[in-house]
Amino acid sequence: MTKRADKVVRVQAILDEHFPAPAIPLQHGDPFTLLVAVVLSAQCTDERVNAVTPVRFARAATPAAMAEVPVAEIRVIRELSRRLVSDHGGIVSRDLGAREALPGAGHKAASVVMAQAFAVPAFPVDARTQLVKPVRGCVKPFGMRLAACSTRACGLQAGTHTLPHVDHPRP
C-alpha cells in the first residue's frame, strides 16, 4: 500500500470509530421531506428548519402538492418540487447526479439524502470539509466542486463513509 492509501485507511478507521451511525438532526418522514429540509438548512439553522417544516409539510407533503404552493411562500422548494414531478414522476431519485441537478440541491444535499434516506454511504461536502482536508494532508483548500473531487481523490467517497451533518451558525 502507498503512504496515501495507508492514510486513507487510518482516516476511515477513525471516522468509523467516532461516527459509526451518524444521524441527521433534521426532522423528515421520507426522501422528499429530507431533501427539502437539507436544502433549507443551507439558509438557516437546523433548529429553524425543524420549526418551520412541519407547517409546510402539513400543507404540502409531496412534490406535486409543493409545486402548487404560491412562489412567494417557498421559491426554491417550489421549483425543486416541480422538477421532481416533471423529471422524476414525483419521486426523489436514488441517483446522486439527478439529485445534484435539482434547484437548491447541490452535492451536500444530494449526499445527505443518499446516506440518510437510502442508506447508501456518502460523503457530504460543504465548507467545513474545506477546513478538515488540509489538516488531513490530502489537498489544499479549493472551491466546493473541486473540494468534492479532491475528497474523492483522497479515497473518501460515496460508498466509503458518511460524516454526520453538523449544524453551524449562519450570519
> Grid coordinates in use for 68?
402548487
Cell 475528497 locates to: 151
Sign of the dihedral defined by the CA atoms of residues 127, 132, 134, 138, in that order: negative
Active-site residue, from 6, 30, 87, 126: 126
Whether 87 is catalytic is: no
Q: Helical H runs in 43-143? A: 46-59, 63-66, 71-88, 96-100, 107-118, 127-136
Cα–Cα distance, 24 to 33 (Å, whole number): 13
Catalytic residue among 108, 133, 140, 167: 108
The yes-or-no answer on residue 108 being catalytic is yes
Instruction: Please tell me the distance from the alpha carbon of residue 24 to that of residue 69, in angstroms, as a whole number.
Output: 27
Of residues 19, 18, 41, the one with CA closest to residue 112: 41
Rg (CA), the chain: 17
- Report the distance separating Cα 96 and Cα 94, nearest Å: 6
Which residues are known catalytic residues? Answer: 108, 126
